[in-house]
Amino acid sequence: MGDNSTIIWTRTDEAPALATLSFLPIVRAFTGAAGVDVEIADISLAARILAVFPDHLTEDQRVPDALAELGDLAKTPDANIIKLPNISASVPQLKATIAELQGDGFAVPDYPDEPSTDAEHDIRARYDKVKGSAVNPVLREGNSDRRAPGAVKKYAQKNPHSMGAWAPDSKTRVATMGADDFRSNEVSTTVETDGSLRIEHVAADGTVTVLRESVPVLAGEVVDATFMSTAALRSFLADQVAAARDEDLLFSLHMKATMMKVSDPIIFGHAVDVFFADVTTKHAAALEEAGVNLNNGFGNLLTAIESLPADTKAEILTDIDAVYAAGPGLAMVDSDRGITNLHVPSDVIIDASMPAMIRASGQMWNAEGNQQDTLAVIPDSSYADLYEAAVENHIANGAFNPSTMGTVPNVGLMAQKAEEYGSHDKTFEVAAGTVRVVADDGSTVFEHAVGDGDIWRMCQVKDAPIRDWVKLAVGRARATGWPAVFWLDETRAHDAQLIAKVNNYLADHDTEGLQIEIMNVGDAARFSLDRQRRGENTISVTGNVLRDYNTDLFPILELGTSAKMLSIVPLMQGGGLFETGAGGSAPKHVQQFEKENHLRWDSLGEFLALAVSLEHVAETAGNTAAKIVGDALDVATEKLLDTGKSPSRKVMELDNRGSHFYLAMYWAEALAAQTDDADLAARFAPIAGEMKAAESTIVAELNGAQGQPMDIGGYYSPDLALAEAAMRPSATLNAIIDAI
């Protein structure tokens, strides 16, 4: 798979996958003129499920494990991967995909919630490889460089997006545990020699249960262990429910239940249980009979009780109404449909939900469909200071002005699965006793006394990614002249280990004349926000989780969306991974597409990623034509923004497909106008003329296809022929593109 003249384009899920069916034919037509091949790798949730169950499928149904193949490619100099947003599957999403595949004739097994046989444990283990943030750790063999491209930043300044006005007496605030959580219970060490660690649980009676037989470690690797007390969590949650009621605030929970696929769904379940305690306690037996799993959200309870006798169900619904009546108000994801903040864990991903709240006056929607001040509950205190600082800054100073505010790009530590808390097999819900980490020589590295139901977890960061992270940060500071701030807290165990390494590795670089700081999360956030308000720029240099949070919060405030960021991952072996932005809004886009055949997904991230991918081809393969085609794409993208040809939200107006047409026309015009390659100019001049002459016809065909329901044979596993026909409805445009 791949060579240095090949770009791998990932087929993922939802709106980005639909957009690919419209855009990829254009991409192949233009890049082919420069001798660049574009291949598809299907890493969608459906394809990932099929790949782990070949023994359940017929020969012609089996699919290659494209994700594993891409993971291998990412470790080579030839890698050039354009990675679109994919679903980080929650259990409800996983189950929905399984049901859809089964309906399509694929005999994949049901997901076993509580496996009891060896076969069920095997099935569960295979599904666990698929759910949560399964894709990114495999592909990210480099650290992250995310920034707003110049053209995008200029456009946002000239065309500022709406920002909700903040009242100086806003009661909105952030609540976090601060004690007996992951942040406060963390212990950390730097490993001195290669080896392995064993994780084991010791019960009160001395019984030892091995949780992980062997966790390989390398010399110089930073290893952490920590736990959250469930008793402390539930007490905290009960206090916040009472505080929200007393202060007339909406109660809202903000977590990362997809990336933290073991820990955060458990925490989410406790939140549902505590909020609806009058229901879950009184009806515990009936809910157990119905198979309710609160970790999958309050929506799971509502669905499950449909199977109960009518009188039992009616009594439960009456008691639910009583909980709502007694308050506090619960923040809503969809007021019209009654979807609350506690319905589905994947609906309230913190890096999308908190920036949206901050941008909207610090308020969320209540059950009546009105905005209201909110108590933002972020149980673990590791990174809550970021959002607390942002809320306080807005209360003190009002909303930001996108026309004048600065930018906060990010250099993120993520290579080789760095800091993948909760995403892997080192997180456990444990019984009372002791969890300890034991070295090869039998010595105890870490030890925690834990209670029933506590959540214990461990993470690792290898030394080579840390060195590379420091190098990338210094490089970006040198290239921009902006301050670079490492968001590290000397009072946190993990960060203290990283600070020692950062100070050591900074000495390997020429930092004269650069402003490079180390600050804790709260101070770094305040420093960056204050500079941003003055129109000044600051590089945030963070670990993996904060990378996720910062690359949504700051772009959403600056640009109105995080999907317009340029996301480059210089792979450590010399290849390149180019990510195309965030997919948090993708489900709503698909719902509109299915309802009225209008896809408002903006492929700007794909345009930006493709341009730098082509630049990478030019550098690694000595392909000057690829550089010219990539530069012309940048010209076309800037013109697309300036002429307002991005997708509209309204049906019968320009959507994703129309935006692709204009991008193609402007791209052809830019190639025709360039003077560095006469052959390319001569080839694309007539194409540009043909598109311009047919502009009104093409737009009429694209917009005219809208306005009626669209069935493409599935949500997670659509019929590709139906989907491609839906995404290429202009015969005129298709004829021009296919003839290139």
**Domain map of the chain by residue range?**
173-182+229-397
**Average of pLDDT values for 616-642?**
95
Q: Residue 134: which pLDDT band, with cuts at 50, 70 and 90?
A: confident
**Average of pLDDT values for 504-530?**
98
Among the listed ranges 379-393, 563-577, 670-684, which one has the minimum average pLDDT value?
A: 563-577
pLDDT in tens, 175-225: 999 999 999 999 999 999 999 999 999 999 999 999 999 999 999 999 999
Q: What sign does the CA torsion over 43, 44, 50, 52 have?
A: positive
Contact 218, 198 (CB under 8 A): no
pLDDT in tens, 378-400: 999 999 999 999 999 999 999 99
The CA distances from residue 452 to 237, 287, 431, 436, in Å, are 17, 21, 4, 16
Does the pLDDT of residue 16 top 60, yes or no? Answer: yes
Quote the CA–CA distance of 259 and 187 in Å, as a whole number.
Answer: 22
Q: What is the pTM of this model?
A: 0.85
The SS3 assignment for 134 reads coil
Contact 454, 430 (CB under 8 A): yes
Instruction: Give the pair of three-digit tokens for residue 463.
Output: 């030394």
The DSSP annotation for 596-623 comes to HS-----THHHHHHHHHHHHHHHHHH--
Residues 6+ apart with CB under 8 A from 431: 201, 203, 450, 452, 453
Strand order in the sheet with 222-228: 187-190, 222-228, 454-461, 427-430
In this structure, the chain runs to a length of: 740
Quote the CA–CA distance of 517 and 495 in Å, as a whole number.
Answer: 14
Percent of the residues in the chain that have a pLDDT greater than 70, as a whole number:
98
Does the pLDDT of residue 89 top 90, yes or no? Answer: no
The DSSP annotation for 11-24 comes to E-SHHHHHHHHHHH
Instruction: Give the pair of three-digit tokens for residue 541.
Output: 């240099």
Strand order in the sheet with 433-439: 208-217, 195-202, 433-439, 444-450
Quote the CA–CA distance of 528 and 539 in Å, as a whole number.
Answer: 8
pLDDT in tens, 276-303: 999 999 999 999 999 999 999 999 999 9
Helix (H) or strand (E) holding 184: none
Residues 6+ apart with CB under 8 A from 149: 564, 565, 566, 608
Backbone angles phi, psi at 486, to 5 degrees: -80, 120
Instruction: Give the pair of three-digit tokens for residue 413.
Output: 């530590």
Label each residue of 629-693 as H, E or C: HHHHHHHHHHHHHHCCCCCCCCCCCCCHHHHHHHHHHHHHHHHHHCCCCHHHHHHHHHHHHHHHH
Q: Residue 424: which pLDDT band, with cuts at 50, 70 and 90?
A: low
pLDDT in tens, 213-267: 999 999 999 999 999 999 999 999 999 999 999 999 999 999 987 777 788 999 9
Q: Residue 411: which pLDDT band, with cuts at 50, 70 and 90?
A: very high
Contact 95, 291 (CB under 8 A): no
DSSP annotation of 579 reads: E
DSSP annotation of 571 reads: B
Quote the CA–CA distance of 449 and 447 in Å, as a whole number.
Answer: 7
**Average of pLDDT values for 689-704?**
98
Nearest alpha-carbon partner for 294 in 382, 226, 234: 234
**Average of pLDDT values for 679-687?**
97
Among the listed ranges 93-97, 347-351, 511-515, which one has the minimum average pLDDT value?
A: 347-351
The SS3 assignment for 363 reads strand
The CA distances from residue 634 to 57, 260, 736, in Å, are 44, 36, 22
pLDDT in tens, 326-377: 989 999 999 999 999 999 988 888 988 999 999 999 999 999 999 999 999 9
Quote the CA–CA distance of 426 and 423 in Å, as a whole number.
Answer: 8
- Dihedral, 136, 140, 145, 149 alpha carbons, nearest 10: -60
Give 16: exposed, middle or buried? Use CB within 10 Å, 0-12, 13-18, 19+: buried
pLDDT confidence of residue 583:
58
Among the listed ranges 18-32, 179-193, 407-421, which one has the minimum average pLDDT value?
A: 407-421
Residues 6+ apart with CB under 8 A from 154: none
Q: Which amino acid is at 399?
A: A
Contact 356, 585 (CB under 8 A): no
Residues 6+ apart with CB under 8 A from 679: none
Q: Residue 421: which pLDDT band, with cuts at 50, 70 and 90?
A: low
Mean pLDDT of the chain: 94
